[in-house]
Structure 1
């Protein structure tokens, strides 16, 4: 059987070491645990609250006798115990008085053109029929040398033309255009399945 190590537990949740005396009358121990002030939080004071500090024994006694609902009427207690208590308060608006306005969207740099390209697509379609074009659609159209408004017939016609131009069987066995031909085939396959050419 493994022997258990005896370690003195010197840590307590909430302990803050310091030179403060315990706030309980007649106690000579150090005040290492905080408790709310006697008068509650000071109204209108913008800063940390003035806590009372107790030793461990006195903070335990304070916690044992603490009653959140003390001084509340039955209606106030019922309102505080509702499941949505606290959620119905209106959120504070961000204040602009006396401060600079935040940056506009136009002030941001978009090196990949990701946001502005999407915005252009959604706000002003590049096709007259209103069908959307993705970034990949536009790149494939560029490879084939087609306009954004090209239809399925124009796509097939342009594909046939480029295959005849770059295929080694059609140009005397010249294999120097194989990379271009592969790009043309990939672009055509992608556009065939794109919603704009359905």
Structure 2
């Protein structure tokens, strides 16, 4: 395998070199290629994002770097504050609080939600619980949907609903019509799930 560098990406001898044929050093009177980026003015930047910059040749970027002073123009108090070990860490960060998989709900006082489009999302992230506090698993909730049972239904309501649906779907009650056997099977499975659930104990 050849160890020769690719011609379209020659190995750069200096880190940060950005070659651009025809671009000259920004230092007045210099005719060398401008291949190294440097800030327009030394010292700390203000605002967001990178500040304005210029391209210098290797000699002038070395001179710029040797004279660069981050603290230039700062008062002794500002220099002391910037040199503290925890400088920059005082800003409050967003709390990583468990919210049931959803983002943190917005402050409702800030805007109106007449269609309840946003509020519904945060309610859906937290399953509604029974009034008696008895737990419901995901399978319990699916079974209750199959039986069309109220969330707070008790064991008696479960038996009554099961009996009604069996009568509705059983072939013997429908003149031998077996077209509802799939629905009947789902009703039986849902009842078996719920009758052994702690919520219906």
**TM category, shorter:** 0.5 to 0.7
Which residue number in structure 2 is paired with residue 177 of structure 1? 180
Cα distance change on mapping 1:66 and 1:116 into 2, 3 Å: closer
Which residue number in structure 2 is paired with residue 97 of structure 1? none
Structure 1 residues without counterparts, runs of 5 or longer: 92-101
TM, length-normalised to structure 1? 0.57
Q: Return the offset for 1:50.
A: 3.8
Cα distance change on mapping 1:19 and 1:108 into 2, 3 Å: farther
Match of 1:35, SS?
strand
Instruction: Tell me the matched-pair count.
Output: 181
C-alpha contact 1:20 1:30 (8 A) present in aligned 2: yes
C-alpha contact 1:41 1:49 (8 A) present in aligned 2: no
Match of 2:146, SS?
helix
Aligned equivalents of 1:14, 1:103: Cα separation in 2? 51
Which residue number in structure 2 is paired with residue 115 of structure 1? 121
Aligned equivalents of 1:106, 1:73: Cα separation in 2? 53
- Is residue 2:193 matched to residue 1:187? no
Cα distance change on mapping 1:171 and 1:42 into 2, 3 Å: closer
Aligned equivalents of 1:195, 1:106: Cα separation in 2? 38
Structure 2 residues without counterparts, runs of 5 or longer: 94-109
Q: Return the offset for 1:4.
A: 1.3
> In angstroms, what is the RMSD of aligned CA positions?
4.8
